[in-house]
Structure 1
Amino acid sequence: MADVATVAGVSGQTVSRVVNGSPRVDPATRRRVEDAMAELDYRPHRAARALRTGRTDTIGLVVSTLATVGNSRMLQAIAAAAADRGFALTVVTASGRDAVAQGFARLHEQGVDGAIVLNEATALARGVEVPSSLALVVVDSPPDDRYVVVQTDHAAGARAATAHLLGLGHRTVHHLAGPAGSYAATERERGWREALRAAGIAAAEPLRGDWSSASGHAAAVDVPADATALFAANDQMALGALRALAEAGRDVPREISVVGFDDVADAAQYRPPLTTVRQDFDALGAAAVDALVAAIGGGRSPAAMLTPTLVERASVAAPPA
């Protein structure tokens, strides 16, 4: 650090501020210090800095599975946001309440500064004791005073999808719901029911899958023969539903319209291209990391609710005459 200070023509304290990301350095001086660091191939010693500051600049991610598209997209978004802010990422997969508790303990032993709990793992984390030194942010959860909640407004997205189908003239909209234990699935089902209720329409019993396209295919076999509109709780299940409907000889969208949720990368390549509700995974991951960094610093961000948007493609149309 002293060598960097000499080459840059600044004090050691200024180098320290640059290394630690302090805003109290003007841009020109920061560039001079960074150039000197590059010239000397200087790298901060994380272990030594952790001993001095009590922080490792590492955050944890607790997730029940990475097999679903939504969770893998969130992992990518959180990893990118963490790297942008100078944090390393440690991932823990936990399939049960005991495993979540063990995951928190393991992260604590590794000295991570805080953790993000993702989607289905949030239900498993409720009631689990969290080490007091571990800052926590939860993605997709009911409000809780113990941590900051960051989420997409799933109900609003589902209401928009259902209202769009009703606005095209469909007498009702059937729902292919996600797993019963999922907060996101519950919220999407709630939004669907609210849109039907607002239109004075009784909701039929939803079909149910597990987020996978295979489960969507299996469930969509039971779509009523007179149904003209189907809202699937995610794009993967919508993909399976499209296949099941095609196998049954039902044309999409001429005979039945289909809407998904998430707007995965391939949704525009489905046959037909899928109308869906777009979640901004990058913004959601950035909001979660920002809230966690604030918590690590002793602050508390307000809960964040991101509004999804409806993306219209070729899988919907007015009902057949």
Structure 2
Amino acid sequence: MDSLKDLFIPQMEIALMLYTRNNLNCAEPLFEQNGSLNVNFSTNKKTVWLIHGYRPTGSTPSWVQNFLRTLLNREDMNIIVVDWNRGATTFLYSRAVKNTRRVAWSLSGYIRNLLKYGASLDNFHFIGMSLGAHISGFVGKIFQGQLGRITGLDPAGPKFSGRPSNVRLDYTDAKFVDVIHSDTNGLGIKEPLGHIDFYPNGGKKQPGCPKSIFSGIEFIKCNHQRAVHLFMASLETNCNFISFPCSSYEDFKAGLCVNCEKFKEKSCPRLGYQAELWKDVLKERKEKQFLKTTVFLDTSGTSPFCNHHFAYTILYL
């Protein structure tokens, strides 16, 4: 009966589950019952916060386990999985949206506690999927943009599109904000929000996703979740998701955007974990020239989603 009630009137309950290389297969609470910090948490290492999105039926996000394993395989870090399932599980999406602010305020208390133990905001990388991206933004606002990095994985569009920057994820919420848009015609948000915004395959329809509603739930969530799988692929493979700055996907497809000289010796930015390498030049573009950096790339339809771009120049003599 309680679980049925949660679908309509969700209870707020947040669990912070810690994973490190020392406890890769078994989550442990970030704080012990007596309030002390888990011994596996290292204040000197990077800390990734993974935050899921809307869960209408209360199921556990299928991508989280693989995601954290891939991250820990790449780098020795702390990973905190933010489980706010009881606030995200509701048939009323607007209730889950309202709960995002409450989750952020709750997280801020835990973060202040971590700072007392010697942790650093600059070492925090928030990775939020859908509503989780906006939760990350709200946490960033509470700490006045001092978080090290926020990655928005297809930030939720409904209730956030067209809204001012103070009620959604924004580039001012962290020292570096990168966003992947994979479902702008559906569950994701279309407008650029970060220091850099990636639009794989134009950001609307992803190759390999079902085109018919008769495919069931996959038709609804495939495009939306592709942002997660692309970010994971950037960690798992040698595929470099090279992306090209352009004003539109149409211009990109027409071959009009192959010049990356503005990014100096680093050349074109790459989608995913490596995007941070372009942090300084992107911040400079945003702060000095108020330029939004929208970048486009094409991917294949199956994992690891690699595609190679070729530009041909035909000279008429």
- Max Rg structure: 1
**TM-score exceeds 0.5:** no
Normalized per residue, the structure richer in helix is 1
TM-score (normalizing by structure 1): 0.37
TM-score (normalizing by structure 2): 0.37
Greater relative contact order (Cα < 8 A, sep 6+):
1
